[in-house]
Every structure is written in structure tokens, then in C-alpha cells.
Structure 1
Amino acid sequence: MKKQRLVIVGAGSTYTLGMIMSLVKEKENFPLKSLIFYDIDAERQERVAKATEVILKEKYPELEEFKYTTDKEEAFKDVDFAFIQIRTGGLKMREKDEKISLKNGVVGQETCGPGGMAYGMRSIPDMIELIKDIRKHSPNAWILNYTNPAAIVAEALRRVFPNDKKILNICDMPAAIMVSYAKILGKEIWDLVPEYFGLNHFGWFTKIYDKEGNDLTDELKDHILNKGFLPEDAEIANDQSWIKTFKQVEVMLRDFPEYLPNTYMQYYLYPQKMVEKEDPNYTRANQVMDGREKRVKELCKTLIENQTTEGAHLEPDIHGRYMIRVAASLAYNNGDIFIVIVENNGIISNLPDDAMVEVPAMITNHGPKPFAVGKIPTFYKGLIEGQLAYEKLVVDAFFENDYDKALKALTLNRTVVNAPVARKILDELIEANKEYWPELN
């Protein structure tokens, strides 16, 4: 089995240690020859890298090379895989997006509504530049992108790199939900076979099978309706915000029992309720800064000072393991089935071919081979078409420097649906994001 050369882009992320533990857990499925970290924030990256050195020394001694750098050529030269997980503007810009939205009575969330538009417009130029740089130094590398908001980023990359078949946009949220399904069913996530359709952070599980073909969907629905639903992945299991989010699945299932919803559908189906439960002065970004960010910083410090992982709380998480399992299937032609983001091209037959949809696909060394979904019912089609129009208009607004299209996008979004409010939020976001957005005219 060939050992892979991997670069993690955005390695200063608070998710990186979970990714490293996942690489340790999955090293028989996805063995590494070399691992490189790349980030533009040298100080932030160095802290994570020094902690990673301690982990690798104990748990991955066979790794031939580990290094970290802010030099693109050094990072991207002759790699087999690039995992991208950047956050342009960091949590401080996320905080501004959320507070502007909530101040105006609209959902304040990083990927949904105005926050998603703001984050997307910041992410697009950095993602385009990164992919050009990776391609310059590693023309044949697989590029696996986790950068949010994945739907807007995927649409932009589809337009700029239409012939690059080795870029794959993925999201771990369906997998994080499936971890909870697996817990309910007494199985491992990898034992489940999902049927799913939608856009990123905007979709539904229609069926859940095991690998023997047994339909477990009704068992799951009964459990959720009668016993509730909780996050089980290590990274979010004890997070009160995520616990509330997973509990909302029961409400959605009671209202719309046909399919099992992605947790993010709560923001679109109950936008006012989502606003009412938030504190506009202390948003989710603040919770992350005071929670996961501080916790990971302290963990890094402890690892570096002690030079051992003994006593440290380190676990693989679905964020890492999902990306790695997808990569392994690409590298070794495993043919495993994962939910990924691909161009529609008839997969959902009553949606446009150029939509970037999220569906199950067999992952081969020639890329994803998505399974046909066919026609979807009117209710779901209507919701998706509205969201898809919003996403396309955001990308249009970015490339065309078009204020009018950005305003139309926000007005269409189900978290806003009010033109004067959309205009007010847009104007405030433009001012807050002037360092990052193109000038909209």
C-alpha cells in the first residue's frame, strides 16, 4: 500500500489535533509517508505543530517526515493530498457576522443566512488562490475541501476550475449525524449506508440501511420521537449548543415525518425561534472562542510542556476520520460510499444540472461516482430551489461586484425574507467586511 504525502492547509485550526488523532486511528487505512502543516498565521500554527510533534513521536513513530511552514512552495510541492480547512477572517469576523444578523432580528449563524453569505464572500478568493498554488506545485494532488460555507465555496470553485476533477468538497455534518444514528442502532458509523439528498447544510436522509440491506429508518425515527436525539461525536457531545441543535431534530421530524433532516434545517424551518434562543451580545462565535479555542490552546500548552500525551484528553473525531476515509477510498480505489458535494448532472432529475448537490457516492480513484436520486417531492424541491438561487446569486455578486445580486440573495434566503431588512444587513456586512469583500456596486 503506497504511503501518502499529505498537507493540511489551515493547520492552526482548533480541529487539527482531532485530525491528527484521526490520522493515527486510520493509519492502517491511510498510511502517511510525510505530513506538512501550512497556515498564514505562523504563531497559531507553531503552537499546534509543536503539540502535534509530541503526539506523532508517541503514536506515529513510523512517519518519515513532519514539518510546518508558511511557505507555499515548501508546503505544496509534490504532495498526494491537500486537506483544506481555512477560516478567512477568523472567529472575530464570524462574531461580527453573527452580531450584525441578530441585531437585525435574523439568524446569526456562520453558514446560514447573512453569516453564510459574509463568510462565503470572504472564503472564495482565498480558496481560488490556494487551489492555483497547490496546482502549480502538485498538479495531480487530490484536493479535499472542508472550508465553509461549503455550498457557496463549491459553486465558486465549479466556475473557476470546471475541468479539475480532483477537487472534492465535503462536509462532516451528515457523518456527525450518522454517528448518533449508529449509537442508537448499536452499530459503527461505517456499518451504515445512507440515502440522502440536498445541498450542503440543507438536506434530508431518506433511508438508513445497514450493509446487509436491512432498512433501519423507522427504528431511528421511533427512537428520535420517543427517546430523543443527542450528539455523540467526541468533539460536540458535551457542547450545550450542539445538544440543543440535535434535540431540535425531534421537532422537525414531528412536523415533517417523511424524511430525517440535517440538523441545519432548523435555521430555515424555524428562523424566528432560532433568533429568540440566541444572545445577540454573546453569540456562538464567543462560545467557541471561550470554549473550544481556549481548551485547545491549553491542551497544546500542556502537551508541549510535558512532552507526553499521558493524561491528555485526545480523541479522533468524525471531522478527521470522515475526511481520511474519503481520502483512503480515493487513494486505494476502495469504492466506499460517502455523502459528498458534486455537480448534479441529472442525479436529482428535477433540479438544474449545474447545481452543486450533496448526495451519496461511491468513492473511487477516478473520483466520486454518485448514485441517482431521481425526482424529489415538491416541498423539498421548492425549499432547495430557493436556497440554490440564493447560493448562486451570492457567487454572482462576488464575481460581478454586484450589489443588486447580493441584495436579491439575502432577500431570497429563508432566514431573512424581507427586502428592507436584507438591505440593512447587507450594508452593515459590507462595512464590516471591507477588508475581505470585493467592492459591490
Structure 2
Amino acid sequence: MHQLGSRSSDSTPRVEIGYVGGGSQGWAHTLINDLAQCGDVAGTVALYDVDYEAAVRNAELGNRVVDREDADGDWTFEAYRELGDTLADADFVVCSIQDPPAETFVHDIDVPKQYGIHQPVADTVGPGGILRSMRAIPQYRTIAATIRERCPDAWVINYTNPMTVCTRTLYEEFPDINAIGLCHEVFKFQEQFADIAERYVDGADDVDPDEIHVNVKGINHFTWIDEARWRGRDLYRFLDDELAARKPLADFDPGEMADASYWVNNYRVAFDLYERFGLLAAAGDRHLVEFVPWYLDLEDPEELHRWGIRFTPSSARLPDGDGPTRTERHLAGDEEFELHESGEEAVDIVRALLGIEPVETHLNYPNEGQVADLPEGAVVETNALLTGDDVSPITAGSLPREVRSLVLTHVNNQETLVEAGFDGDLDRAFRVFLSDPLVTFERDAAEALFVELVDREREYLTDWDLEDADVLAT
């Protein structure tokens, strides 16, 4: 049997990492950056992408970066044409994939908008999240099946959204898989609590967010915090004071955010949900508003600006024109690749699972009871301890009934969508679509929207039974 992290003669662990989506202009660069600064693990990174040439360019970039004098890592990057060859005997598999945005993501955002459904992100729930899930389920079945065949003992780190559906699909296809999903949203709330500590706790100066412990529970992008501590001190008790200081919450004017960053976040929705339910929602406001209907019930899209956020237009999802990619700019010397502290934890998790240094962090993992009163097996987001080839979810407790009701709606939809994907049952996927909280209009309009989205993205839905679907026949 293939052994995880076989050690070389100098006792430095040497591992093989298979990267699915290795032509990425985002996460792949982050992995290159972090591995270049990792001196106590070495090995190879196999890059696979449907755009093989993009993977080739990233391999060249990775090899250049680790050869620099300011890099500590001993890594070799190589591109592969076939997924199976990429994952052969891998110790770790990293997934970060996305279909071409012009053919998919743009439709996910723009078509629902024509029906009055406005989505700031459109990658987790709502019409956009559902269609993205429908595209992702067959892809992740293929990834899981290849892992089962080529590297069944590997640890899989998934970054792709919709996080919950993708990670859940891996386990449904290959129940013995070792997979976790990583998301950086909660880190921002550790930063918020670090600021709160500095404002309310005597002697708290320059608080490191890494020293903030938060109890995390829920599902990805609809996660909740009910405890926050710094060096044993309770920070959660200051939230009422913080809420009072931030009021009024919806005090921006419509149109005021027109020139703000598409990704701006003032945490007004998170604190509004805290005031409503007594529990702090722990994801970016742009994500949170897609899980509950009332924030997006708008006469004018600019009304959303009142909460200090704005919609991300589909144009922001497209590549920057026809010019060179970020990788090509680095390779040509037109843009320097600067090593930096990324804040991501994939390499720390590799080190932890090799037994070098344990890590406690939040991650997405099947529910073994860590979130009471959510279905067993559903992928939930909580803290976990990673050490020595093991992941141990930390019990987070239950959610208040009224919050659990909101979360359960999406858990049930996501579970049903995965089941429908394995059966190729488009009609069942449509029933999920109808039950999404953002789909609030009458059935005929919902059907017309769903059919239009399916028609526009048909080439990515070939694993679904389109011929016999009643929803398409009408």
C-alpha cells in the first residue's frame, strides 16, 4: 500500500501533491507561494487542468519561483494531460476548479437578474449556486472515482465552491475518501474579534487574530459563532456593546457603494443577524444575504448598498480582456512574483497530517455529531484538530432552533441536489430550485428561469437526464 509521506534519507518528508485545476490564476499561485516558503517538506506537484497549456505555464512558474534564492522549498512542478496520471500515488490532492465564466458564471448571475433575482455572489445557493452545483457534481464524481483508483489513501483539500456540495459529492462517490473543504471566511471574524479585544479589553494591544479562538458551527458561507476568546478572556460578551456602537446598521444610502470594491464588506448583515438571533453569522455579508430572502427583496438593486455591500456584476468574473494572463506576465518579467504571507492553511495542513505540527482550524467535513441536530453525514463547518494523518472534528454543539431552521433548509436542499445529481434527475433538481428561499415568485416563472439556465448551460449538464425531464418537456 502507498504510504503517506515516505521520508527521504535526510528525514525531510517528501510528498506528491496532485493539483486538479492546476492552470488556475489564483489558488495555484497561492500554493506556489506557500510551498516556496516551506522548508521542512519537499516533493513534487503534478498540475492538471482542462487547459493543459495553462498548467504548463504554472509548472514553469512554480519551478522558477522555488529556484530563487529567497525560496526555501525543494519542490518540482510538472503538468500532466490526464487526470489519472496526475493523481497516481498522490499523498495529497488539491482541488480548485471552475468552468469558463463567460459560458456559465455569467449566465448564473445575469439570467436570474432578468427575473428579478439579484445575487451578489451566485456560487453557493440561489439559482446560481444550484446551477453551479449541477455542473460540479459530475466533475467531483470523476475526481473521487480517480482518487479511489489511483491514490485511495490521499488527503484531499477542496477549495472549490459550492464547497458543501463538492465535498459532499466526494464522500458520496467514495465513502472512504479522506477529504476536507477549506474556506477563509471565518478568518475575517477572528480579525474582527481581535479589533474588539483591542477596544474593550484593558492591556490588549496589537492582538494577533491567530490567538482568537472562536466556536464555529453551521455550513459553508452560512456559518455561526457563539463563543470567542482571547487568552482565556470572553470576547463574545462585548458584542452587544459593539452592536450598539455600529448602529444604525443599514445606514448607507442607495447608490453610495457604486464606486466601492465589488468585494467590500462592512459586516452590517452579520451584526443584523446577531441582533435578530443572538448568534453572530460568520461569513461575508455578500454570502450571507443569499441564504435568507429578506435582504434581497429589492425594488432597486442599489437598495442593497444600505448594508454596505454591492452586487458583483458578471463582468467582474471575466478574464481581463485578451491580454496576457497573470502567469504569463510573471514569466515575461512584466510583473514580479512576490513571496508573501498568504494567510491560507493548505501547507500548514499538509505539515499537520505528516505529524510535523498539529493545526486546529475550521473546515468542512461530514457531520459525525459535531453539530448536533443537523443530519449525520451532511457536510458541516466546524473547528477540527489535524495531526498525524488524522482529522478530529471538535464538538460545536447545537444551533438555536430558529437558526437551525434556516440552516436546515439549505442542508436539505444540498443533500437532495447531490442525490439528484447521482441519479441525473433533473426534475428533482428543479424541486430543489423551487424550494430555494430566493426563488419567491410563482411556479411558471421559476420553471421558465430554470429551463433557460439549463438550456444556456446544456453542454455542461450532459450527465443529467435532459431527454426525459418533465420540466423541459413543458
TM-score under structure 1 normalisation? 0.84
356-365 vs 73-82, which moves further: 73-82
Residues 1:45 and 2:69 are matched in the alignment: no
Partner of 1:235: none
Unaligned runs of 5+ in 1: 230-237
TM-score under structure 2 normalisation? 0.79
Q: Distance in 1 between the 2:195 and 2:58 partners?
A: 31
Residues 1:190 and 2:210 are matched in the alignment: yes
Q: 1:412 to 1:333 in 2, by over 3 A?
A: farther
The answer on whether the counterparts of 1:105 and 1:275 sit within 8 Å (CA) in structure 2 is no
Which of 7, 23, 43 lines up with 1:12 in the alignment? 23
Residues 1:341 and 2:364 are matched in the alignment: yes
The answer on whether the counterparts of 1:19 and 1:317 sit within 8 Å (CA) in structure 2 is no
Cα distance, 1:163 vs. partner? 2.4
The answer on whether the counterparts of 1:206 and 1:260 sit within 8 Å (CA) in structure 2 is no
Which SS does the other structure have where 1:195 is aligned? strand
Cα distance, 1:217 vs. partner? 2.6
Residues 1:289 and 2:318 are matched in the alignment: yes
The answer on whether the counterparts of 2:35 and 2:73 sit within 8 Å (CA) in structure 1 is no
CA deviations over 1:291-330 (Å, ceiling 9, x no partner): xx56995543332122984xx5554433xx2222222222
Residues 1:352 and 2:375 are matched in the alignment: yes
**Higher RCO structure, 1 or 2 (CA under 8 Å, sep 6+):** 1
Structure (1/2) with the larger helix percentage:
1
Which of 210, 217, 220 lines up with 2:236 in the alignment? 217
Which of 54, 65, 71 lines up with 1:55 in the alignment? 65
Matches within 5 A, 1:24-423: 24-25=36-37, 27-28=38-39, 31-58=41-68, 59-60=70-71, 62-90=73-101, 92-108=103-119, 109-164=122-177, 166-182=178-194, 185=197, 186-210=206-230, 212-219=231-238, 222-223=241-242, 226=245, 240-244=261-265, 246-263=267-284, 264-269=287-292, 270-273=295-298, 276-277=301-302, 283-289=312-318, 297-306=324-333, 309=336, 312=337, 315-318=340-343, 321-332=344-355, 334-420=357-443, 421-423=445-447
Q: Distance in 2 between the 1:226 and 1:8 partners?
A: 45
The answer on whether the counterparts of 2:144 and 2:173 sit within 8 Å (CA) in structure 1 is no
Q: Distance in 1 between the 2:171 and 2:418 partners?
A: 11
Which SS does the other structure have where 2:44 is aligned? strand
Q: Distance in 1 between the 2:222 and 2:100 partners?
A: 24
Q: Distance in 1 between the 2:299 and 2:179 partners?
A: 34
CA deviations over 1:206-248 (Å, ceiling 9, x no partner): 12223x322223446655763699xxxxxxxx98122146454
User: Identity of counterpart residues, as a percentage?
Assistant: 20
The answer on whether the counterparts of 1:106 and 1:275 sit within 8 Å (CA) in structure 2 is no
Unaligned runs of 5+ in 2: 1-11, 198-205, 250-258, 306-310, 470-474
Q: Distance in 1 between the 2:45 and 2:340 partners?
A: 19
- CA RMSD in angstroms comes to 3.1
| Structure with max Cα Rg | 2
Cα distance, 1:84 vs. partner? 0.7
CA deviations over 1:103-155 (Å, ceiling 9, x no partner): 11113312221111111111111112122223333232211111210111223
Cα distance, 1:265 vs. partner? 1.7
Cα distance, 1:183 vs. partner? 5.9
218-227 vs 184-193, which moves further: 218-227
